[in-house]
Amino acid sequence: MLSSINPANNILIKNYDEMTSPESADIISLADKAFKNWKETSFIHRSELMKNAAKVLRDNSEEYSVLMTIEMGKPIVQSRTEVEKCAWVCDYYADNAEKILADEIIKTEATKSFVSYQPLGVILAVMPWNFPFWQVFRFAAPNLMAGNAGLLKHASNVSGCALAIEDVFRKAGFPENLFRTLLVKSKNVKDIISNTKVQAVTLTGSVPAGKSVAALAGSLIKKTVLELGGSDPYVVLEDADLHQAAMSCVTSSLINAGQSCIAAKRFIIVESVYDEFEKLYLEIMSKKRMGDPLDENNDLGPQASLQLRDELHDQVLRSIKQGAELILGGTVPEIDGAYYPPTILRNVKPGMPAFDEELFGPVAALIKAADENDAINLANKSIFGLGASVFTKDIKRGEQIAKEKLNAGCCFVNDFVKSDPRLPFGGIKESGYGRELSPFGIKEFMNIKTVYIK
């Protein structure tokens, strides 16, 4: 049994029957059969259906937004934004897939030689609960446009979202079994990956989950793309616009109640402006409202579950025990639901959970650096490498730091890290490998085929 529980009040929304292994195997076979026909379709046809999917999303935005909010606690305004972003990625690949995947002529001694992109087949996506629609659509839109079929193993607490996404593609006119949801628990993923009809796996989730999936897929010589955890550093230099920097930092740390791999987590401020930045950050953060995520006036809702809330609180307490100082929040409210308030820790240093681990919630770690070099060294002192930002009025300086000095897959200057269908998204180190979105993302699960004609 898979249970969906509203984290705002801990009330059961619905129980879902778990699929048996034979049922899952039958769905995989049907997806493989659908793929064999789908790969022969034209880009024009696929594009029409993907445009339909974007329309279905927009036409049913409020229904999908409320579903997301009650299943995992996302503020309703952010849920609506997420639905629109899913429609955007559908439009992007509908408009650009044919051009991106066109044959590329390579001049050689041959009469003709070129690179052709051919779909692999059935691709499994193991997806998390934090962006229950967006994480799936940024996988599904490019892969269906490329000619692949998709299987979704979603997080158990957002099974309603998983089935709704499957229905989006059905309503848009895609073949019945081209994109299917598998209502199974994590322990059953091994059997799905081992199925010979599954050609590759993409996973967004924790480092342990990524290692497990990568090890199994690797033993079967199946390609993987992994987007794992993050502890994104935001470097604030002495010449930064401090108010703008503080606003961007607070926004990033509270998106989705901080439950994002690319949420700002470590704020590294050079000593000469540290006090002023801390004052601004505290002032902005303390005004944010926590409460019912269906109330448009609230800035953050609950954590996705009581267990996740309690794990986050334990990280905060352990950091304080090791010398971090609590200056905002940090207490579990005596109300129903998995709520955790906006929290700020200062005097955070390497070795503390707030520095070394991923804090998946609205907790900010303030870190003082002597100068630019010290700040960059502290930023890179992490097992993660997903996103990073630097704030400075010297654009050339910021560009050089982002390009050459910060060790992450996505580096931003004077803005918070975000994903965009037009740009590649992914990390390095224990944040994973491979890329989603952009032309790079759609090519991850393709046979990049050399054709040589003498």
List CB contacts of 208: < 8 A, sequence separation 6 or more. Answer: none
**Annotation says 90 is catalytic:** no
Which one is catalytic: 71, 82, 166, 227?
Answer: 227
Q: Exactly one of 86, 90, 261, 411 is catalytic; which is it?
A: 261
Torsion of CA 134, 82, 440, 397, to 10 degrees: -130
Return the closest-CA partner of residue 281 out of 253, 303, 314.
253
Taking each helix axis from N to C end, the angle separating 159-171 and 61-72, rounded to the nearest 10 degrees, works out to 160
Residue 102 φ then ψ, to 5° = -65, 150
E strand or H helix at 227: strand 223-227
Helix (H, G, I), strand (E, B) or coil at 384: strand
Residue 287 CA from chain centroid, whole number: 27
Q: Going along 79-211, which residue ranges are E strands?
A: 104-105, 112-119, 122-126, 149-153, 179-181, 198-204
Please indicate whether residue 261 is annotated as part of the active site.
yes
Helix, strand or coil, per DSSP, at residue 417: coil
Residue 177 CA from chain centroid, whole number: 25
Work out the burial of residue 443: count CB atoms within 10 Å of its CB; fewer than 13 is exposed, 13-18 middle, 19 or more buried.
Answer: middle
For the annotated catalytic residues, the residue numbers are 227, 261
